[in-house]
Amino acid sequence: MRIGIDAGGTLIKIVYEEHGLHFKKIEYNEAEQALNWLKTTAPSADYVLTGGKAAILKEAFFPEAAVIPEFTATCEGALHLLKKAGLPHKSLLLVNIGTGTSWYKIEDGRHERILGSGIGGGTFMGLGRIFSGKADHQRLAGLAAQGNRGNTDLLVSDIYGDRSWLPSIAGQNGRQKDVEAPIDGKLTAGNFANIAGKPSEEDLMAAAANMIAETTVLLTKGAADIHHSERIYYIGSSLLGNDALKKGLLTYSRMTGLDADFIPNGEYGGAIGAYLSSWH
């Protein structure tokens, strides 16, 4: 039996074969128990580990395990998923939104990490804790989906159309014609810059998801231009149940002319890459 494990900064992803591929995700607060259980259940399995905490897992649980590089595992695993799903995979940018975010260029099966950013799923969790005191990913994603980022962010239309600073006509605000802005008024002028707003937890989380999506797409657009790739795939556990983030990624990708999509089970890319590497 072969077992691939991707021990990332936030979550451990496990892939194994038992009448088809199985996928499991565990959090670090339950990891010791779960990994000991796995070890007892499958003592003679071929373990292949990857991710930032792979070496520590090897030391503590699986001394016989092979450890393979995270970047190779992620790209090989993503390519496997793309082929299985019948999606284009000849030339693409892979954007892994994990705790932070990594960009890979994949061309004819060759891959290279081209960019990294500290803005990612960890940013969503960290801002979530600050804004709401909550630490549960699904709850924070739920808040983000219900919020209105306009109460947190300053939009272009807020700058071009706002007369509230003119005491003499302030009372007439709203009765004036909107001033035409040179770019779409709904675009962000400043993330979290609406210092006059009274945002709720939901509004703050909506703005956090938007800022992560917007920043990620802007970096993706720059990388895509430099590397002449137009096909983009987003992966990573950060996308799970986070509709505000996913919607933002697709909207801004289209707006910048990128052909973007998600890969089903994409968060298991690293673990699948590790699992597959034991074939060789």
Kindly indicate which of the ranges 34-42, 93-101, 210-218, 260-268 contains the residues binding Mg ion, using the contact rule CB under 5 A: 93-101
Q: Which residue is nearest to ligand ATP (CB)?
A: 8
Q: How far is the CB of 190 from Mg ion (least distance, A)?
A: 31
What φ, ψ does residue 202 adopt, rounded to 5°?
-65, -45
Contacted entry of ligand ATP, Mg ion, none for residue 128, CB cut-off 5 to 8 Å set by kind: none
Give CA angle at 195 (193, 197), nearest 5°.
110
Q: How far is the CB of 204 from ligand ATP (least distance, A)?
A: 16
Burial (Cβ within 10 Å: 0-12, 13-18, ≥19) of residue 158: buried
Residues in contact with 20: Cβ distance below 8 Å, sequence separation at least 6, in sequence order: none
Helices vs. strands in the chain: H and E counts, helices first: 9, 12
Which residues of the chain form contacts with ligand ATP (CB under 6 A)?
Answer: 8-11, 27, 51-52, 98-100, 121-122, 124-125, 137, 236-238, 240, 267
Kindly tell me which of 197 and 236 has the beta carbon lying closer to ligand ATP: 236
Contact 57, 76 (CB under 8 A): no
Per CB under 5 A, 266 contacts Mg ion:
no
What φ, ψ does residue 251 adopt, rounded to 5°?
-60, -50
Q: How far is the CB of 196 from ligand ATP (least distance, A)?
A: 30
From start to end of the chain, where are the E strands? 2-7, 11-17, 21-27, 46-50, 66-67, 91-97, 101-107, 110-117, 154-155, 188-190, 231-235, 259-262
* 70 classed as catalytic: yes
Question: Catalytic pick from 18, 27, 32, 70?
Answer: 70
Collapsing DSSP to helix, strand or coil, 122 comes out as helix
**Tell me, what amino acid is at 98?**
G
- Could you give the string, one character per residue 49-88, with x where binding to Mg ion holds by CB under 5 A and - elsewhere? ----------------------------------------
Whole-angstrom Cα distance, residue 147 to residue 183? 24
Q: How far is the CB of 165 from ligand ATP (least distance, A)?
A: 38
Among 4, 8, 100, 122, binds Mg ion (CB under 5 A): 8
Contacted entry of Mg ion, ligand ATP, none for residue 185, CB cut-off 5 to 8 Å set by kind: none
Kindly indicate which of the ranges 2-10, 87-95, 137-145, 258-266 contains the residues binding Mg ion, using the contact rule CB under 5 A: 2-10
Q: How far is the CB of 208 from ligand ATP (least distance, A)?
A: 11
Among 4, 77, 98, 147, binds Mg ion (CB under 5 A): 98
Kindly tell me which of 134 and 163 has the beta carbon lying closer to ligand ATP: 134
**In terms of Cα–Cα distance, which of 157, 152, 194, 154 is closest to 177?**
157
Residues involved in catalysis? 70
Binding footprint of Mg ion on the chain (CB under 5 A): 8, 98
